[in-house]
């Protein structure tokens, strides 16, 4: 019998296909938060289909690699930004499951209303199943009009996803003035939770379009996935890996949709005002 994911809102009577659903959990939080994020993902996805992504040499504010049981692990030789951090697991998962839908969760999440939060994640999963070409970012209204973050201004509903409240991105303002941030705060402006749901193949195609240098650098690894030579080859590949942000590339070009959610998500590093985008 094919697996299903049941909505935490039992009254909705919603169930979603889960047999192509994978989780990607990015490190960066404390051990306790990283473990909690994995367990949160496991409410929707079996542990065996959850992949943690860490780096032996973390960015300055990063945390040491944490071993977690029952999940798959990808260890980057060093951190080179969100593009290789996401595209490396996307390539591996797409090779194993060409229909893979990935739920990308940062490992430093603070969730205030977990059941409600999971309902929004499932809504985004439903949207991606309906429109495989549209990655969906969860965007939350912050508690303060902080101009130190990039802001997202939602646009019109995405065709075919109107009933799920998925919106195109009208503008991404990476460095707003204080006045712009204040106006966005009073209006419909959102900040990124860094939670993204997408088809693995769609992320790869977008990476090929906008960050071809990252995919070209990773290309030699594809033939070595799962082979004994993979770790050594990965070390060599990352010596040439450019620093690149996948999220910035997609936000600037409007190649990602947004699902507005209540202010129920924060970060260990910035609880009141969410991170605007990953590096």
Record the tokens describing residue 156, joined without a space: 């019109």
Contact (CB, 8 A) for 20 and 44: no
CATH number of the structural domain spanning residue 118 = 3.90.550.10
Q: Which domain covers residue 200, as residue numbers? A: 4-267
Q: Is residue 272 part of a domain?
A: no
Q: Is residue 30 part of a domain?
A: yes
What pLDDT, on the 0 to 100 scale, is given for residue 62? 54
Record the tokens describing residue 272, joined without a space: 């009141």
Q: Is residue 144 part of a domain?
A: yes
**Secondary structure of 30-99 in HEC code, one letter for each residue:** CHHHHHHHHHHHCCCCCHHHEEEEEEEECCCCCCCCCCCCCCEEEEEEECCCHHHHHHHHHHHHHHHCCC
Q: Is residue 279 part of a domain?
A: no
Q: What is the pTM (predicted TM-score) of this model?
A: 0.87
Q: Is residue 276 part of a domain?
A: no
Residue-level pLDDT, tens digit, the chain, 279 residues? 334 444 443 334 344 556 899 999 998 768 888 899 999 999 999 999 999 999 986 655 555 555 676 899 999 999 999 999 999 999 999 999 999 999 999 988 888 888 899 999 999 999 999 999 999 999 998 888 888 888 999 999 999 999 999 999 999 999 999 999 999 999 999 999 999 999 999 999 999 999 999 999 999 999 999 999 999 999 999 999 999 999 999 999 999 999 999 866 666 655 433 444 445
CA distance 16 to 9: 13
Q: Is residue 273 part of a domain?
A: no
CA distance 175 to 160: 32
Q: Is residue 263 part of a domain?
A: yes
Beta bridge partners of 257: 136
The number of C-alpha atoms within 13 Å of 219 and in the hemisphere containing its C-beta is 9
Structural domain count, the chain: 1
Record the tokens describing residue 118, joined without a space: 């999971």
The DSSP string of 194-223 is EEEEEEHHHHHHHHHHH-HHHHHHHHHHHT
What pLDDT, on the 0 to 100 scale, is given for residue 110? 83
Q: Is residue 84 part of a domain?
A: yes
């Amino acid at each position: 019998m094919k697996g299903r994911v049941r909505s935490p809102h039992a009254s909705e009577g919603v169930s979603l296909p889960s047999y192509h659903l994978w989780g990607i959990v990015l490190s960066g939080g404390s051990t306790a938060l990283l473990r909690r994020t994995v367990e949160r993902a496991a409410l929707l996805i079996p542990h065996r289909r959850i992949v943690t992504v860490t780096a032996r040499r973390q960015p300055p504010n990063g945390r040491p690699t944490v071993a977690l049981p029952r999940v798959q692990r990808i260890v980057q030789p060093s951190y080179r930004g969100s593009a290789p951090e996401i595209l490396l697991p996307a390539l591996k998962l797409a090779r194993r499951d060409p229909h893979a839908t990935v739920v990308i969760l940062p490992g430093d999440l603070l969730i205030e209303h977990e059941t409600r939060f999971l309902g929004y994640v499932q809504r985004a999963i439903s949207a991606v199943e309906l429109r495989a070409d549209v990655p969906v970012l969860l965007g939350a209204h912050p508690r303060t009009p902080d101009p130190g973050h990039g802001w997202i201004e939602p646009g019109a509903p995405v065709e075919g996803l109107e009933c799920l409240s998925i919106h195109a991105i009208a503008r991404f303002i990476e460095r707003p003035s204080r006045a712009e941030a204040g106006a966005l705060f009073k209006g419909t402006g959102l900040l990124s939770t860094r939670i993204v749901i997408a088809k693995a193949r769609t992320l790869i195609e977008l990476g090929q379009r906008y960050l071809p240098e990252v995919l070209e650098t990773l290309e030699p690894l594809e033939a070595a996935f799962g082979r004994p030579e993979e770790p050594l080859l990965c070390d060599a590949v990352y010596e040439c890996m450019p620093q690149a942000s996948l999220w910035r590339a997609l936000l600037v070009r409007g190649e990602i949709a947004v699902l507005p959610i209540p202010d129920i998500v924060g970060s260990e590093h910035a609880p009141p005002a969410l991170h605007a985008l990953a590096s």
